[in-house]
Amino acid sequence: MMGIKLAFADHGIRVAAIEDDGPLAGLIVPGEYVRAIGNVQLERDDILRYPEFVERRDENAWWNRQRAIYDELKNNNPVDLAIVSSAQEERTIQIKTIQWPLRSVMTRGFPVFLSGAILAVMSLVIYALSRSPVHRTCQVFFVSLGLYHMVTAPMALREIALCPWMERGMAYVAFISAGACIALAHFSLIFPRRKKWVVTHPWLLGLPYLYFAVSVGLYLAGITAFGSTCLWVVFWALLIVGATLHAYVTEEDLLLKRQILLFLMIPVLLAIFFCMYIIIPGVMRTNMFQYSYFAILSIASVFSMALAVENQRIYQAALAKEQADLRDRLQMVREVHDNFGNVLSGIVRLADRGHLPDGADSAASAVLPQIHGVAQHCLTEMRDFMVAIDPVSSRWEDYVVQCREHFADYLAAFNIRLTLHAAIDAACETIRPSVQYHLTGILREALGNVIKHAGADEVHVELVVRHGGSELTIEDNGAGCREPARTFDAYGLSNMEGRAKELGGSFRMESTAGGCRLRVGFSP
């Protein structure tokens, strides 16, 4: 350590700052240039933290100068420095170099080392949570990014040169760990769902890793240079952003769309991190460690990714449980249908064939048709209930047609006319089984109340389905209802309110000028 901070200049390396207690305090002033260290003539690229060259010959020349500078500092103590003042006057001074204490290194590099440690811990947490492909991909990304932080910190801290073999080893590890971030491309192709062309051609997921293996192999073999992959980095970054935006546009589930937005923060934050920590220092030719606090951005990206993955896991687990519950419920209803349904069908057939002797009481004569009607109604109710809880998702348009046909016939038997209008957002194509089940229950209960209590001859139903909030409105022209502030004590009304809450929505009843209106808000 020479006790000075160096910066790039047009014709050499300029002294940017001097440590007050360093070996050059009082011997040099900021703004002067260091032209040579011993017998090594310095060039402006000698203080690059990485061999950021596209051509291999330029990188090899850079490594040779790094080795020569290190040998001068190590073998000659004191060492001669050729200094050029701002007036272009040259002089030579001698200084003693000292080892930089490890504590000082850790203190200056604390933001970067902390980021690397957090990334390592997060990879272990992800591994403990699950071993699914999504979680494995996250783990590879976290480990590679954390390793990149760990090896870049010492290279960023140095002012002139590290031990050549150590510096070269760190450059290799930095190249490999940065390349392993290609796992983010894999992640973008399978989160929150696998792309259709990935499902049909799963081998395509191996292309990012094939690129990684080839690029690392070529670099370690001395064929390509450290900076030769810059254009490929841009390509993979565009692929990640494009795949993520495509997933957001095509995804229909609102919760998963929010997780995609959460994941989209990761490439944005990483782009800011690399620009501030890698690109801008290279372009400005300044000490990249002055920007080390931007390493904290990488921590934010990790937590964003982990949160998106965990939310997706919890949501899919809840969805799977919902599907399992609906299948169990359907199995139960089928058992009821196979037993009680056969009994009711038998009653209907017996009522059709039965007759009373001549001269029977007129009241008794009306019994058989009533039995037939009740049994037939029970069969219809059972079939409708089975359709309502079918665990297979259907389209909103099909559901609307089904409701219009069924409930129109249902109300027509009581001389009530039904009009049903629906406005379905194009982004909302399928209806979840639980939504179908609870909406059908609300409609059945509401229309049943109209038949029993309203004395109406017309019912208007309006269904609006859109992301961000949907609503079902049922309005009749009957006798009206009590004030909205009343307590929901009746079983039917409290049942509708409970179903609305199950859908994450609200239930409201209000009187109108010519009847009663029910509003049910829900999440599609």
Length of the chain: 524
User: What CATH number should be reported for the domain whose range is 104-320?
Assistant: 1.20.1070
Which long-range CB contacts under 8 A does 338-345 form with residues at least 24 apart?
340/382, 341/379, 341/382, 344/375, 344/378, 344/379, 344/382, 345/375, 345/379
> Which of these, 343, 344, 444, 328, lies nearest to 384 by C-alpha position?
444
Name 475's Cβ contacts closer than 8 Å, sequence gap at least 6: 459, 460, 461, 462, 512, 515, 516, 517, 518
- 3-class secondary structure, 13: strand
Question: 392-524: which CATH topology?
Answer: Heat Shock Protein 90 (3.30.565)
Cα 35 to chain center, whole Å? 51
Q: Tokens representing 132?
A: 């699914």
Ranges of the chain with pLDDT below 50: 1, 483-489
> Domain locations in the chain?
4-95, 104-320, 392-524
Q: How far apart are CA 159 and CA 164, in angstroms?
A: 14
Burial class of 137 by CB neighbour count within 10 A (0 to 12, 13 to 18, 19+): buried
Alpha helices in 100-251 (DSSP H): 102-108, 110-129, 133-157, 164-180, 183-190, 196-200, 207-220, 230-250
Tell how strand 12-18 and strand 4-9 pair up: antiparallel
Here the tokens at position 409 are 């016939």
CB atoms within 10 A of CB 1: 16
Alpha carbons 375 and 241: distance in angstroms, whole number: 60
The confidence score (pLDDT) of residue 172 equals: 92
In sign, the C-alpha dihedral spanning 24, 25, 26, 28 is positive
Question: 40, 47, 54, 38: which is closest to 14 by C-alpha?
Answer: 47
Using CA atoms of 230, 232, 236, 237 in order, give the dihedral in degrees to the nearest 10: 20
User: What pLDDT score was predicted for residue 487?
Assistant: 40
Name 509's bridge partners: 518
Q: Do 4-95 and 104-320 agree at the fold level?
A: no
**What per-residue confidence (pLDDT) applies to 181?**
79
- Supply the DSSP symbol for 238: H
Structure tokens at 39: 């017998």
Q: Single out the residue of 509, 500, 523, 506 nearest to residue 438, CA to CA.
A: 500
Residue 212: closest CA among 166, 144, 152, 274: 144
Q: According to the model, what pLDDT value does residue 199 have?
A: 86
Q: Residues 415-462: pLDDT tens digits?
A: 889 999 998 887 677 787 778 888 888 888 888 888 877 788 899 999
Architecture of domain 4-95: Roll (2.30)
Q: What sign has the CA pseudo-torsion 192, 310, 140, 266?
A: positive
Other CB atoms within 10 A of residue 338 CB: 9
DSSP 8-state assignment for residue 129: H
What angle is formed at CA 190 by the lines to CA 468 and CA 240, rounded to 5 degrees?
Answer: 85
